[in-house]
Structure 1
Amino acid sequence: MEIQPNKGKLLELAHYKMPFGKYKGSYLVDLPLAYLVWFRQKGFPKGKLGEHLITMLDVKDNGLEPMIRKIQKEFPRE
């Protein structure tokens, strides 16, 4: 069984920006790992933001940041 990534979700994740706080306006991929770990300890927000933060923590834990940055570069938001 081959795993196929959801291209739409990857595009959304690559271009999603933090909507509040110290890092407001920053792409999630640019958030420090320590900040994502803090959310894991305190509890992720509900909804899409929380889901994206959890995914970004997994991305960073697995060294996949270059993949997200490549998506940002090759598929810029209009």
Structure 2
Amino acid sequence: MAPEDIEKLLTRTMPFGKHQGTTIAALPANYLHWFAREGFPPGEIGRLLQLMFEIDHNGLRGLLAPLRR
């Protein structure tokens, strides 16, 4: 994880699927868990989804709140 990845979680949006247009940091936990079970997509979006899953899974989602604009 690089420091700029945290900013990307707050600014990048899902490019596809049920939650298209939602920022990665705002995705519901059950959606992140689905990707963890089924497999994360390749590339940067998959890496960011995996990072957000780890943040959520470890109960650290609240740490992102002060960083939101």
Q: Which runs of 5+ in 2 are unaligned?
A: none
**Equivalent residue, structure 1, for 2:62:** 66
Q: Once superposed, what is the RMSD of the aligned Cα atoms?
A: 1.5
Equivalenced residue count is: 69
Tell me the distance in 1 between the aligned counterparts of 2:2 and 2:16.
26
Higher relative contact order (CA 8 A, sep 6+): 1
Equivalent position to 1:31, from 21, 27, 31: 27
Which one has the largest radius of gyration? 1
Percent identical across equivalent pairs?
Answer: 33
d(CA) in 2 for partners of 1:19 and 1:69?
Answer: 22
Distance 1:69 1:20 in 2: 24
Q: TM-score, normalised by structure 1?
A: 0.77
Deviation (angstroms), 1:53: 0.5
**TM-score, normalised to structure 2's length?**
0.85
Runs of 5+ consecutive residues of structure 1 not aligned to the other structure: 74-78
